[in-house]
Amino acid sequence: MTLSELIDPFARAKAPPPSTLWRFMAWALNGAWPVLIPAATFSILGGVTEVLSAKLLGDVIDRALGGAPSAVFSAHGWFLLLCLGFFVLLRPAILGISAYTQSVMMQPNVFNLILSRVHRYTLGHAVAFFDNDFAGRISQKEMQTARAMNDVVTEAVHSVLFAVASVMGSVWLLGAVDWRIAVGLVIWIVAYGFLIRHFMPRIRETSKSRAAARAMVTGQLVDTVTNIKTVKLFAHDEFEDQAALGAMSTYRDRFIAFGHVSAQFRFWLMALAGTLPVLLIGGALFYWSVGLVSAGDIAATGTVALRLAQMTGWVSFTLMGMYANIGEIEDGIRTITPAHTLLDAPDAGALTVARGRIEFRDVGFSYGRKDGGLDRITLDIAPGEKIGVVGASGAGKSTMVALLLRLYDAERGGIFIDGQNIEQVTQESLRRQIGMVTQETAMFNRSALDNIRYGKPDATMDEVIAAAEKAEAHEFIQTLRDHAGRSGYDAHLGERGVKLSGGQRQRIALARAILKDAPILVLDEATSALDSEVEASIQSALERVMQGKTVMAIAHRLSTLSEMDRIIVLDRGRIAEAGTHDALLARNGLYARYWHRQSGGFMVPEDETEAAE
């Protein structure tokens, strides 16, 4: 293990993050202390060397003035060699080790440690968490929190501890020169502390507001760019521009408020810093004039005074940055740390699927509202049975799928797979047993190979190609080429697969599900984006994929469900009809009405009075 590996930058946290600042920082930094403590030690030693430098300078001057100039080297040779070793070897070694611990051992690892933990916890939130916020804003909060905390830790070690050691050493040094000069420095330090105490909380609050406004700008811009095709189709460039300008205007106002506080702080800081050399050097000169201190003491005092005056500026600006970052951390904590609402049971085990039987037992769910969703659904799907689900928009079709995948927990009743309550097994094991192809196909801005292999990360290239061929995707994938010159399965698909047609995206999603080969298969409008010719060409592949699996298929195009073992008709969250295609037509009910309208060339009407799923 090298020194740069003393911190595991991707170590998992052992508990959820606390919602208070200092406990959150302790949670995020747990595991980094084997490096933080040595880094802090060498930073303190670095501050001490600055004081020793001034002390040695004063001693050199006193020894030089205490005898004949020609005898300086002969009388004080060993002392001068000691000073040479200090300035040439010891001081550079201490400062160099301090820089190495911070820039190599600490900063790169601490940032990744914090970000990995924050991101891992964010991924654990329920789908509703992401539904209620901007994707860009959430990602901005993750990066903001990790960067701000890394900066706070770095500056605390690099600047604050260094400065504290320098100030304490300076008090000791000036006390050795004359206690009254040291008292003057202590009084100045108290005044400096009052200045920090007055301004830093204001900087912290205005920074927190500025960070929140900046994240909203990011969220607004990402939301617009993500939906750029819709913006263009509706000719709403001006509308989106105004929405962005509104967010930017709020950010500008918050930034100006932060700037006012910052400018006031800098003015009073520089005014106070200007008094320090006058106070210390003036005092040393006065006591020298009455014979109480030496010329070397004046030099040492002057060196300390100028050094502290300079340090006051950069340390204060560092503190201002730290408090600003603390405000950003607190703003990030508010977004990221709410408790997970969808948790595995404490004793949850892995789901085992031997047969694939699915049972909805008196299931009710309405998204926390009075109506909508599902109303007391009871349904038993036999192992290997293929169920079609139809109904108008808002009837509850997608809600059934969301509950089966446990994206939400049922508000009443339960869902069982092979007799196992899905709320009593781990979410990961549940979703590994269910393959799904949705109407809104999810594509990553990665290669075609990576997108298909997402269904089975350890799949061989032959397995990927075989799945693509079954989904009628292999042929068009071979023609792909991206802006970087990558082609075929190595070509990147663009964000959300924007470089593909709807049908191409759907076929890659089908290939992904085929490769996953889960015992339960959910098709949510899986062929809706395909034209009739392509749909017909992959229908036989779908039928092969469905063999031996329990299938739930949702479709508005009823012809795709006619060969299902059973069709469930949902109406206002309840099962209105159930049976085979022929039996439901013979019944001449709701399904028959849908069928005849589609056969006559009309789409199934959406009931606008029903709540959207």
Asked if residue 216 has pLDDT above 60, the reply is yes
What percent of the chain shows pLDDT beyond 90?
Answer: 29
Asked if residue 190 has pLDDT above 60, the reply is yes
**305 in Cβ contact with 280 (< 8 Å):** yes
397-402: which pairs have CB atoms within 8 A and are 24 or more residues apart?
397/524, 397/554, 397/570, 397/613, 398/524, 398/554, 398/613, 399/365, 399/373, 399/374, 399/573, 399/613, 400/360, 400/374, 400/552, 400/570, 401/436, 401/522, 401/524, 401/552, 401/554, 402/127
Dist. CA 244–CA 508, nearest whole Å: 35
What's at 446, amino acid-wise? R
Query: At how many degrees (to 10) do helices 21-29 and 135-155 cross?
Result: 80
Q: Where in the chain is the domain with CATH 3.40.50.300?
A: 349-433+561-613
pTM of the predicted protein model:
0.71
Q: What is the pLDDT of residues 86-125, one digit of tens each?
A: 889 998 999 899 989 988 999 889 999 999 999 999 988 8
Q: Pseudo-torsion of CA 205, 210, 215, 217, nearest 10°?
A: 150
Strand order in the sheet with 574-579: 434-437, 520-524, 550-554, 386-390, 566-571, 574-579
Q: What is the mean pLDDT of residues 563-576?
A: 90
How many other CB atoms are there within 10 angstroms of residue 91's CB atom? 18
Q: What is the mean pLDDT of residues 221-229?
A: 77
Q: Which residue has the higher pLDDT, 475 or 228?
A: 475
Backbone angles phi, psi at 441, to 5 degrees: -70, 135
Nearest to 340 by CA among 398, 409, 413, 402: 409
109 φ/ψ sector (left φ>0, alpha ψ -120 to 50, else beta)? alpha
Q: What is the mean pLDDT of residues 12-36?
A: 92
Highest mean pLDDT range out of 42-56, 225-239, 413-427? 413-427
pLDDT for residue 611: 35
Q: Where in the chain is the domain with CATH 1.20.1560.10?
A: 19-336
Confidence band of 541 (pLDDT split at 50, 70, 90): low
Q: What is the mean pLDDT of residues 186-208?
A: 84
Q: What is the pLDDT of residues 271-316, one digit of tens each?
A: 887 787 788 778 788 878 877 877 777 777 777 777 777 777 777 7
Name the CATH architecture for the domain at 19-336: Up-down Bundle (1.20)
Q: How far is CA 85 from the centre of its chain?
A: 48
CATH number of 349-433+561-613: 3.40.50.300
pLDDT for residue 537: 65
Token pair 């000069």: residue: 181
Dist. CA 363–CA 413, nearest whole Å: 4
Q: What is the mean pLDDT of residues 510-526?
A: 87
Alpha-carbon separation of residue 10 from 89, 191, 499 (angstroms): 37, 43, 33
pLDDT for residue 533: 66
Confidence band of 28 (pLDDT split at 50, 70, 90): very high
Q: What is the pLDDT of residues 258-283, one digit of tens each?
A: 889 888 888 888 788 778 778 877 87
pLDDT for residue 610: 38
Confidence band of 601 (pLDDT split at 50, 70, 90): very low
pLDDT for residue 605: 43
> 451: exposed, middle or buried (C-beta count within 10 Å: 0-12, 13-18, 19+)?
buried
pLDDT for residue 380: 95
